[in-house]
Amino acid sequence: MSNPLRDMEHPDLIFCIGTNMTECHPVAATRLKKAIANGAKMIVADPREIQLAKMADLHLPIRVGSDVALLLAMAHVIAREGLIDQDFIDARTSGVGEFLEHLKEFTPEWASEICEVPAADLEKAGILYGQGTPSAIYYTLGITEHISGVDNVQSLCNLALMTGNLGLEGGGINPMRGQNNIQGAGDCGAVPANFPGFQPCDDPASARKFSKAYGIEIEAQKGITKVTALNQAASAEGGIHAMIIDGENTVISDPDMKHCEHALKSLDHLVVIDLFLTETAQLADVVFPATAFAETDGVQTNTERRVQRLRAAVPPPGEAKPDWWIISQIAQRIGTPGFEFESAKDVFNELCSLSPIYAGLDWDRIENSEYSWPVPDKDHPGTPRLHEKEFKNGRGLFKVIGYRDPAEVIDDEFPVWLTTGRRLESYHTRTQTGRSAGIDYLLSEESLEIHPADAEAWDMADGEIIRMSSRRGEIQIKIRTTDRSPQGTVFTSFSFASVPVNILTGSGYDPVTETAELKVCAVKLEKF
Shortest Å distance, C-beta 414 to other proteins: 22
Nearer to other proteins, 89 or 501 (CB): 501
Nearer to other proteins, 332 or 487 (CB): 332
Strands 465-470 and 473-481: antiparallel
DSSP string, 219-249: -SS----HHHHHHHHHSTT----EEEEES--
Question: Strands, E, within 192-323: which ranges?
Answer: 194-195, 199-200, 242-246, 269-274, 286-289, 298-301, 307-310
Beta bridge partners of 194: 200
Q: Please, are residues 40 and 14 in contact by the beta-carbon 8 Å criterion?
A: yes
Q: Helix H segments across 67-194?
A: 67-80, 86-92, 96-103, 108-115, 119-131, 141-144, 149-163, 182-187
Shortest Å distance, C-beta 75 to other proteins: 27
376-391: string of b/e by CB count within 10 Å (b at 16+)?
eeeeeebbbbbbeeee
| CA angle centred on 113, ends 112 and 116, rounded to 5° | 70
Nearer to other proteins, 114 or 326 (CB): 326
Nearer to other proteins, 341 or 398 (CB): 341
Nearer to other proteins, 30 or 86 (CB): 30
DSSP string, 101-130: HHHTT--HHHHHHHHTS-HHHHHHHHHHHH
Shortest Å distance, C-beta 167 to other proteins: 21
Shortest Å distance, C-beta 225 to other proteins: 5
Shortest Å distance, C-beta 123 to other proteins: 29
Distance CA 521, CA 228 (A): 20
Shortest Å distance, C-beta 249 to other proteins: 9
Q: Please, are residues 11 and 35 in contact by the beta-carbon 8 Å criterion?
A: yes
Shortest Å distance, C-beta 273 to other proteins: 8
Nearer to other proteins, 57 or 116 (CB): 57
Shortest Å distance, C-beta 190 to other proteins: 3
Nearer to other proteins, 140 or 163 (CB): 140
Stretch (H or E) spanning 479: strand 473-481
Nearer to other proteins, 123 or 425 (CB): 425
